[in-house]
């Protein structure tokens, strides 16, 4: 309780975007090709034995929401590969104009590569950490001690726990993870003892997509779990076939 008193405020918000026409085209195509296929697989093998294939399909849909470059090419010319990246760039510009410093999390290292490329083109300095980063603490120290670096790109798995990044006062989750507790831990890299400023915590969510549905499912399961006082486990492990069918609609 005393720790909570020492912490500054945290303001949570969700920033929404719609898919670009190119993303919507790929998303609908993926849904059409996989929904029937998965139904037949679950019918013949059962849900438990089909989980891996189901998860693979859900991951592809989530990648389409992030950026079309995460797919192995498309058979049509793409003019707007990611409406979400456009939204992110607006948020980054606003944050920098207001003097905020940002932790940017994604679970896809390949998405972080796209973000790095984009920042380099825009000549925005940043720190970077994923599972292969050897000098983790050096990057953390560099970010916390150099206010001219506005951004720290971090893979959710590699940097979501154990780091003190109070040099940032804004956290952006580029893509939602199944388990909100993991996202909360990542946000706590900035919202922790030693933080003197209000922390802004922003989730980027694509409307009418699996991302929006995951958010709704998180809330539904969170309420159920809170009601039964169970430990908050990974949402993916709790999903039923009925839940999955809901995720596979638009």
77-92 pLDDT, tens digit per residue, is 889 999 999 999 999 9
**pLDDT per residue over 81-135, tens digit each?**
999 999 999 999 999 999 999 999 999 999 999 999 999 999 999 999 999 999 9
Distance CA 218, CA 237 (A): 12
CA angle 133, 139, 144 (to 5 degrees): 155
Evaluate if residue 160 carries a pLDDT over 80: no
Residue range 198-221: mean pLDDT, rounded: 92
Q: Helix or strand or coil: residue 9?
A: coil
CA distance 158 to 46: 33
Tell me the percentage of the chain whose pLDDT exceeds 70.
Answer: 93
Query: What are 197's two structure tokens?
Result: 């400023």
Q: What is the pLDDT of residue 228?
A: 53
Q: In this predicted structure, what is the pLDDT of residue 41?
A: 94
- On whether the CB atoms of residues 148 and 125 are closer than 8 A, the answer is yes
Order across the sheet with 199-206: list the strands. Answer: 10-17, 199-206, 170-173, 102-106, 151-155, 126-129
Q: What is the DSSP string of 143-177?
A: HHH-TT--EEEEEHHHHSSS---TT-SEEEESS--
How many beta carbons lie within 10 A of that of residue 94, not counting itself?
11
Predicted confidence band of residue 225 (pLDDT cuts 50, 70, 90)? low
Coil vs helix vs strand at 17: strand
Residue 139's contacts (CB-CB under 8 Å, 6 or more residues apart) are 127, 128, 129, 133, 152
pLDDT band at 234 (very low <50, low <70, confident <90, very high): low
User: What does the alpha-carbon distance between residue 242 and residue 1 come to, in Å, rounded to a whole number?
Assistant: 39
* Higher-pLDDT residue of 238, 60: 60
Poorest-pLDDT segment among 142-156, 193-207, 226-240: 226-240
Tell me the average pLDDT across 136-150: 96
Q: Return the DSSP state at 70.
A: G
| Domains recognised in the chain with CATH numbers | 2-16+83-206 (3.40.50.300)
Q: Are 168 and 190 in contact (CB under 8 A)?
A: yes
Give me the chain's average pLDDT, please: 91
- pLDDT value at 231 more than 50: no
Phi, psi of 215 (to 5 degrees): -60, -45
Q: To which residue do tokens 């990044």 refer?
A: 165
* Geometric angle at alpha carbon 89, from 108 and 194, rounded to 5°: 75
Q: How far is CA 195 from the centre of its chain?
A: 23
Q: Which percentage of the chain shows pLDDT scores above 90?
A: 70
The pLDDT, as a whole number, for residue 220 is: 78
List pLDDT tens digits, range 26-82: 999 999 989 889 999 999 999 889 989 999 999 999 999 999 999 977 778 889 999
Cβ neighbours of residue 131 closer than 8 Å, sequence gap 6 or more = 109, 155, 157, 158
């Amino acid at each position: 309780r005393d720790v909570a008193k020492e912490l500054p405020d945290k303001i949570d918000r969700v920033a929404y975007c719609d898919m670009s026409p190119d993303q919507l085209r790929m998303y609908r195509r993926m849904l059409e090709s996989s929904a029937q296929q998965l139904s037949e697989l679950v019918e013949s093998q059962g849900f438990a034995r089909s989980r891996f294939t189901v998860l693979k399909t859900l991951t592809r849909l989530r990648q389409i929401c992030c950026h079309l470059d995460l797919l192995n090419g498309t058979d049509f010319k793409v003019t707007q590969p990611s409406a979400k990246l456009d939204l992110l760039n607006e948020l980054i510009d606003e944050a920098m104009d207001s003097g905020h410093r940002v932790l940017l999390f994604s679970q896809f290292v390949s998405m972080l590569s796209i973000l790095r490329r984009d920042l380099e083109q825009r000549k925005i300095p940043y720190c970077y950490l994923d599972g292969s980063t050897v000098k983790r603490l050096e990057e953390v120290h560099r970010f916390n001690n150099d206010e001219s670096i506005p951004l720290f790109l971090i893979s959710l798995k590699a940097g979501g726990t154990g780091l003190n990044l109070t040099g940032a006062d804004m956290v952006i989750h580029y893509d939602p993870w199944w388990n909100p507790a993991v996202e909360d831990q990542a946000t706590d890299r900035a919202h922790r003892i030693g933080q003197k400023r209000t922390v802004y915590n922003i989730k980027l969510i694509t409307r009418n997509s699996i991302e929006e549905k995951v958010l709704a499912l998180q809330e539904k399961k969170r309420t159920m779990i809170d009601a039964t006082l169970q430990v908050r486990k990974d949402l993916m492990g709790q999903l039923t076939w009925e839940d999955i069918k809901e995720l596979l609609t638009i």
